[in-house]
Amino acid sequence: MKRSALFGAAVFAAALTTLTPAAAQAAAPTGDYVALGDSYAAGAGVPGQSAGLCLRSDHNYGHLVAAALGSTSYTDVTCSAAKINAMTSPQYDAFIRVNDPQLNAVNAGTKLVTLGIGGNDLGTSDLGIGEVIATCIAGAVVNPLGTPCHDHYGHGYWNWSDWAWEYGDDTLVDRIDAAAPQLADTLQRIHAKAPDAKVVVVGYPSVLPEDQWSCLGKQPVTVGDVAYLRTVLVKLNSMLADASAANNATYVDTMAPTRGHDVCSDDRWIEGALPGSPAVPFHPNAKGEQAMADAVLDALR
């Protein structure tokens, strides 16, 4: 997603076991591996950084998966701020071309593709999800006890019995629904270019906690909006899972295994507005990227 934003990440709440290269190779594709996606896939802000404005880390989950698999060839074209259309079109920041169409890296010899994308399609500007986060933070300044983010984007209602947002018309949900056919088209294009490849869609982790009250005073978003944004994140991951199932791809859930390490936790694998470890705000730190890699390896195993 955008280098200046996106929901954040977290990782396994339970103890994680990392596959050795030999064990991973025995159960997962080997050969050419191509990593596609946005800033969560790129590891924005995690040392060491390269690729200019794409903010690509050599410790993002793609690099970690490739190392564990002992891949004979690994190509990383992930880029911060990427939307789904960045798979087939060049990516620009203002007037600067920052990345070629990511699908250019996929070919008939590709054996494994990981794709982490969709979050930036929640925003209409180049900021992607950063636009949403900025809107929610700005609203909290003037309405700290309300739900300014939900009031701006959502037209659902608060179910007091279940203590959760119920969907009515919702701008962010509409954008998720609109992104679904674009993602399906992307997956079909990957299969057409690499018919022998294992295609893995990597979901977004538990950026926000299930208990919104645990965020009270910890992040510049209201408690009510934490609950609302968590619901949107669940909807986004559901769309990714459904599109994967319908288009011969494997969906990797990183939300359940990262529970308890959100931006409001005491043991953060996703950094908040003021990062305590190297990472772009609301993005995975090194532990978060490792956890996402472990989830991918577990799915391949």
> 141-165, pLDDT tens digit by residue?
999 999 999 999 986 666 667 776 5
pLDDT at 227 over 60: yes
Distance separating alpha carbons of residues 246 and 235, to the nearest angstrom: 17
The pLDDT, as a whole number, for residue 159 is 67
What does the mean pLDDT of the chain come to?
88
The pLDDT, as a whole number, for residue 175 is 95
Q: What percent of the chain has pLDDT over 70?
A: 86
Half-sphere exposure of 43 (CA within 13 A, CB side): 29
The pLDDT, as a whole number, for residue 204 is 98
More confident position, 217 or 8: 217
76 in any annotated domain: yes
> 44-77, pLDDT tens digit by residue?
999 999 989 999 999 999 999 999 999 889 999 9
- How is the beta sheet containing 32-37 ordered, strand by strand? 73-76, 32-37, 110-116, 198-202, 250-252
Question: Is 150 a known active-site residue?
Answer: no
26 in any annotated domain: yes
Domain that holds residue 201: 21-118+176-211+237-300
Which is catalytic among the residues 39, 71, 80, 244?
39
151 in any annotated domain: no
pLDDT band at 21 (very low <50, low <70, confident <90, very high): very low
pLDDT at 14 over 80: no
Mean pLDDT of 123-137: 89
Q: Which of 63, 231, 67, 42 is nearest to 147 (CA)?
A: 231
226 in any annotated domain: no
- Locus of tokens 């990383």: 76
Phi-psi region of 182 (alpha: psi -120 to 50; beta: other; left: phi over 0): alpha
What does residue 119 show for φ and ψ, rounded to 5 degrees? -65, -40
127 in any annotated domain: no
Supply 120's token pair: 């930036």
CA distances from 93 to 44, 88, 112, 155 (A): 15, 16, 29, 32
46 in any annotated domain: yes
Which is catalytic among the residues 59, 63, 150, 283?
283
Question: Is 261 a known active-site residue?
Answer: no
| CATH code at position 95 | 3.40.50.1110
Mean pLDDT of 272-293: 95
290 in any annotated domain: yes
- Going 110 to 115 to 120 to 122, the CA torsion angle's sign is positive
pLDDT band at 265 (very low <50, low <70, confident <90, very high): very high
195 in any annotated domain: yes
> How many domains does the chain divide into?
1
The pLDDT, as a whole number, for residue 30 is 61
Q: Which of 84, 116, 91, 235 is nearest to 166 (CA)?
A: 235
